[in-house]
Amino acid sequence: MIGPNAILQLLPQIERTFGEARVVQLLAKAHVFEVPDGSQMIPEGDAARLHQVLRRDEPVMAPILASEAGRATADYILAHRIPKFAQRILKALPSPLAARSLSKAITKHAWTFAGSGAFVAHGPWRFEIADNPIVLGETSDVPLCHWHAAVFQHLYRTLVHPRALCRETTCCAMHGHRACQFELTIGTV
Which residues span the domain enclosing 177?
Answer: 5-186
Q: Write the CATH number for 35.
A: 3.90.1520.10
Asked whether 136 and 172 are in contact (CB, 8 A), the reply is yes
Maximum Cα interatomic distance, the chain, rounded to a whole number of Å: 47
Q: What is the number of structural domains in the chain?
A: 1
**What single-letter DSSP state applies at residue 2?**
B
pLDDT per residue of the chain (189 residues) written in tens, 0 to 9: 899 999 999 999 999 999 999 999 999 999 999 999 988 999 999 999 999 999 999 999 999 999 999 999 999 999 999 999 999 999 999 999 999 999 999 999 998 899 999 999 998 999 999 999 999 889 999 999 999 999 999 999 999 999 999 999 999 999 879 899 999 999 875
- CA of 122: how far to CAs of 21, 43, 158, in Å? 42, 27, 21
Round to whole Å and give the CA distance between 177 and 88: 38
Total Cβ atoms within 10 A of residue 84: 9
Beta strands of 95-134 (E only): which ranges?
Answer: 118-121, 126-130
